[in-house]
Amino acid sequence: MKMQLLGTALLSAAMAVGVAGQVQADDFPSKPLTLVVGWGAGGSTDIQARVLANVLEEQLGQPVNVVNQPGAGGGVALSRLAVSDDEGYTFVFGTSMTITFGPLSTETNYQLDDFRYVAGVTLGQSAIVTGEDRPFGDTWDGLIEYAKENPGTSYATQTALDRMIIEYIAQQEGLDLRIVPTSGGAGMAPLILSGDVDFAYSGGTHSGYADSGEMPVLLGLAEDRLAAYPDAPTLQEAGYDINAAEIRMAMVPKDTPDAHVERLAEALEVATQDERFIEITEERILMPVTWMPEDEVTQTLDDQVAGYKALLEELGGLPQDEE
Amino acid sequence: MIGFDAIFTSFSAAFHYQSITVILGGVLLGYIVGVIPGLNRSVAIAIAIPLTFYMSAYAAIAFLIGLSKGTAAGSAVSAILLNTPGEPSSAATCLDGYPMASAGKPRKALKVGLLASVIGDLLATLLLIVVAIPFAAVALKFGPYELAAILIFALVFIAGMAGGSFLKGLAAGGMGVILGTVGLDPETGAMRLTFGYAELMEGVPILPLVIGTLALSEMFVQLDEYRRNKDAAVIKLGNSADDDLSYGEFKGTLPTILKSTGIGAFVGALPGLGPSVGAFMAYGVAKRSAKDPDSFGKGNPNGIAAAEAADNAVIPASYIPLFGLGIPGSVSAALLVGAFMIHGIQVGPLMLRDHPEMLFTIFSGMIVASLLMLAVGWYGLRIFAKVTSVPPHIVISVVIFLCLAGIQVQGYGTFGLIVVFGFAIFGYFLKKLDYSFVTFLVAFIVTPMLEMNLRQSIILSGGEISILLDRPIALVFVVITVLMVLHLGWSSYRRWMQVRRQVPQV
């Protein structure tokens, strides 16, 4: 057993050293790659990234090592990537929120244009949800009507982004909401299921309750209607001009050579058609696989950042700036 | 919600050869760690957590539970043969184990210890299964008010019970709370105590903190002690038939085992007391109620049985508040929460609701671990007896290497190494100055949960304290907490006054 412990540790150390050496060559990739995940092991991004790494490994003909750099909602990984000169050998797999809203809500040493967005491969399914048997039913219009008559209707927030969206909506509709913080889907679910909170943001937890119907979706936050909840309107359909769609994508530093980006993109496109990647994403994490090339992702992110900035201005800054 | 087929499936999953291999690995490793003096359970779990990243969530938890159970049983070996407890909680086992082994009956002593360990562990595991489920069913109805009240109660209780002075307990808890608040404010997103480090935005990383305060600091303490006492005599196992444990002798210890299991389980279910308290309490009760109390301390098998049964019963029982409420009551339970979190699972009543199969798989894994413990201990008796003589300078350097490797593997980088060393020094002084470790660690682990629930309560109620009248459970816990603080404060004040009055006379 002890030998095995030692073995594992040595092997990992060897992997880490292997990536460090730098070789210049045109036939990218000519050495092992590192896929950085900005979240801890075991989370949905990590689960997906490990399968993605396997597929990429076959496509690129080089080992792809997954490394977790958790912290700051994926921000730690990005701040390290921003100063990386690894020419695409090190890339981050993460979610768009870290790069679009992160720099607006916290102080970061990176900006949207510090990176190239190789490709988007998965669409987020975040939503505004509620519980069963609520006095306002399970429709968005019902909720708005109820909240107008009942000041102090409660909403559970998880991220700075969904807080901003809900504050914008409250301002538009003239609502007086009690906004409670909660951490992650595991913190939100008990509040919604027990009825202590009226409605809430959900990153993806609701997908797990799609069959039982215990967590109806009021509003989808993706660009299109959610795969598991086709009846819930999107933000735009409900009349709010916000694009908060989450995209999971691969990112490299902005000075990465074109040839390297193209090679990575090719491999990623194959991955989006690979059964293993589709299965882990659509059946385990319950998010649809998609294919968005670099220019499309970049355009979407640009639009989102512009939209968020306008929204923040309208709201008079972030909550912490008011104090 | 839970059918028999679910239970059946979970058992067949636990009896699958892959799960058995994983659990066996945990038990074996735990046994070895338990046997080696100076390596304890928390050290073992802390350095094993990084290894579990390569396993599925279920395998990881089963492995860690097997590990923590194995240490409790293994620690009896060195207590009996070396008169040095492998775990602090086996100190009570030394009292009768070593005299018995010195009197030429080492194998008999080991077997009594092993059987008592396994029975204590198995019965307490069954109790956990029976109690945790209804407990969790009730706890599911708890909202932020109840949880906040219960968490505050648990913290104060642990600070008061974990031994030493109440004030030191509160201080240790306070340090845990302060470290637990590092990171982004959950409501405003403001940075708190991060000093500009992006790595601290989501709080002090749990793994470096745990490995530093528990494992690495323990190695520093060991180094310290190693310098002072270098040799201890190991009793060798003989082959005499007289040294075998007969059924009659085993039967003689059975009443003690059962009684001690009860005591251990009770102590385990209360947060903060820990296995040492359980073992010594059971030993005391066994001695007092025995017909021949004078034979205790001179090699009475009942003494071994009492200490080991209680020591092992504490571990599964301490998971009752963990699975029922999500509140860790012991260091090993706190580490399990960390391991669950790292694997993306929230421990607590919601587990029963949303992943009953997971919960049952863990429970059945625990039972498998008990049985494996018996097999490992019984057949490995002679091998483990040899492990006791592994020299500390090898153990200590291997553990330090594993600690640092664990941090590197997890990608915390240089920052992680700095954090680990910082906390190792911090933990060293906590231990040397006798500040309660459990209180510190549990406070650190539950602070984010406590803060969140408290703030939710305040916002949802609109700041009205009268909400407690609508929430009787929360009210009860608030009242008990206040009474407990008054009581503990008053009695420590009186003790302090007594000491002060005595000083001039001496």
CB-based burial of residue B197 (10 Å sphere; 0-12 exposed, 13-18 middle, 19+ buried)? middle
pLDDT at B124: 93
Q: What average pLDDT does range B437-455 have in this prediction? A: 88
Q: Which of B413, B452, B462 sits opposite A182 (nearest CB)?
A: B452
Selecting from A1, A73, A76 the residue whose C-beta is nearest the C-beta of B28 gives: A1
Residue A174 to chain B, least CA–CA distance (Å): 19
What is the rounded CA–CA span in Å between residue A120 and residue A112?
15
Cβ neighbours for B101, distance < 8 A, ≥ 6 positions apart: B80, B81, B109, B110, B235
**DSSP classification of residue A90:** E
Q: What is the pLDDT of residue A129?
A: 94
The H-or-E segment that residue A162 falls in is: helix A160-173
Residue A9 Cα, gap to closest chain B Cα (Å): 6
Instruction: Report d(CA B470, CA A2) in Å as an integer.
Output: 55
Nearest chain B alpha carbon to A318: B188
Asked if B189 and A194 come within 8 Å (Cβ–Cβ), the reply is no
pLDDT for A272: 93
Q: How far is CA B246 from CA A33, A108, B394, in A?
A: 62, 70, 38
pTM score above 0.90: no
- Would residue A37 count as lying in a domain? yes
d(CA B446, CA B430): 19
Average pLDDT score over residue span B253-259: 92
Residues A217 and A151 reside in one and the same domain: yes
Residues A176 and A199 in one domain: yes
Contact flag A182-B456 (C-beta cutoff 8 Å): yes
Taking 90 as the threshold, does the pLDDT of residue A285 lie above it? no
Task: Please name the member of B28, B189, B410 whose beta carbon is closest to the beta carbon of A106.
Answer: B189
CA B238: distance to chain centroid?
34
Contact B422, A26 (CB under 8 A): no
| Nearest in space to B213 (alpha carbons), one of B404, B424, B416 | B424
Q: Pick from B52, B350, B457 the residue to mutate for testing the A interface (most A CBs within 10 Å).
A: B350
Number of structural domains, chain A? 2
Judged against a pLDDT cut of 70, whether residue B241 lies above it is answered with no
Residue A16 has pLDDT above 50, yes or no: no
Helices (H), B270-345: 274-289, 301-317, 320-325, 331-342
**Distance in angstroms (rounded) separating the CA atoms of residues A125 and A205:** 9
Residue A20 pLDDT: 42
Q: Kindly state whether residue A67 falls inside one of the protein's structural domains.
A: yes
User: How far is it, in rounded angstroms, from Cα B85 to Cα B75?
Assistant: 6
CA distance A113 to chain B (A): 20
CATH number for the domain that contains residue A35: 3.40.190.150
CA–CA gap between residue B408 and residue A16 (Å, rounded): 9
Residue of A nearest to B351 (CA): A186
Q: Is the pLDDT of residue B147 over 90?
A: no
Same domain, A85 and A106: yes
Range of the domain at A199: 127-243
- A184 and A154 part of one domain: yes
| A127/B384: higher pLDDT | A127
A320 within domain boundaries: no
Q: Which pLDDT score is estimated for A19?
A: 44
pLDDT, tens only, A254-279: 999 999 999 999 999 999 999 989 98
Cβ contact, residue pair B25, A1, below 8 Å: yes
| d(CA A17, nearest CA chain B) in Å | 12
Residues of chain A found within 8 Å of residue B28, distances taken between Cβ atoms:
1
Whether residue A11 lies inside any domain: the answer is no
- Chain B positions touching A212 (Cβ under 8 A) are none
Q: What DSSP designation does B86 have?
A: S
**Helix H or strand E encompassing A127:** strand A127-130
Contact B409, A12 (CB under 8 A): yes
Task: Find all residues with CB under 8 Å of A283, minimum gap 6, and list them.
Answer: none
Instruction: Name the percent of chain B lying above pLDDT 90.
Output: 23
For residues B87 and B71, the answer to whether their CB atoms sit within 8 Å is yes
CA A274/CA A268 separation, integer angstroms: 10
- Determine, yes or no, domain membership for A4: no
Is A2 domain-assigned?
A: no
pLDDT digit string, tens, across residues B18-35: 788 888 999 999 998 888
The bridge status of strand A177-181 relative to strand A217-220 is: unpaired
pLDDT, mean over chain B: 84
* Contact assignment for A43 to B25 by CB distance below 8 Å: no
Q: Do A42 and B354 touch (CB under 8 A)?
A: no
- Hey, how many other C-beta atoms are within 10 angstroms of the C-beta on B502? 9
CB A261 within 8 A of CB A252: yes
State whether A119 and A131 are in the same domain: no
CB-based contact A18:B61 (threshold 8 Å): no
Asked if residue A137 has pLDDT above 50, the reply is: yes
State the pLDDT at residue A299: 94
Strands A90-95 and A33-37: parallel
Q: Same domain, yes or no, for A173 and A261?
A: no
pLDDT of residue A15: 46
List pLDDT tens digits, range A72-107: 778 878 888 888 888 889 999 999 988 998 888 877
Q: A198, A215, A243 — which closes off a domain?
A: A243
Quote the minimal CA–CA distance from B184 to chain A in Å. Answer: 8
The string of DSSP letters for A29-67 reads --S-EEEEESS-TTSHHHHHHHHHHHHHHHHHTS-EEEE
Instruction: Work out the pLDDT band at A24, boundaries 50, 70, 90.
Output: very low
Q: Tell me which chain A residues have a C-beta less than 8 angstroms from the C-beta of B141.
A: 194
pLDDT at B14: 66
Q: CB contact, 8 Å: A317 with chain B?
A: no
Distance from the A208 Cα atom to the nearest Cα atom in chain B, whole angstroms: 10
ipTM, two decimals: 0.71
Q: Do the domain assignments include residue A14?
A: no
Look at residue A68 and give its three-state secondary structure.
strand
- A183 neighbourhood in chain B, CB within 8 Å: 186, 448, 452
Query: Is residue A22 in some structural domain?
Result: no
Strand partners, A128: A201, A219
Tell whether A160 and A235 lie within a shared domain: yes
Confidence of residue A25 (pLDDT cuts 50, 70, 90): very low
If asked whether residues A148 and A222 sit together in one domain, one would say: yes
Handedness of CA B40, B46, B48, B52 (dihedral sign): positive
The answer to whether the beta carbons of residues B263 and B285 sit under 8 Å apart is: yes
Assess whether pLDDT exceeds 50 at residue B387: yes
Mean pLDDT across A117-126? 93
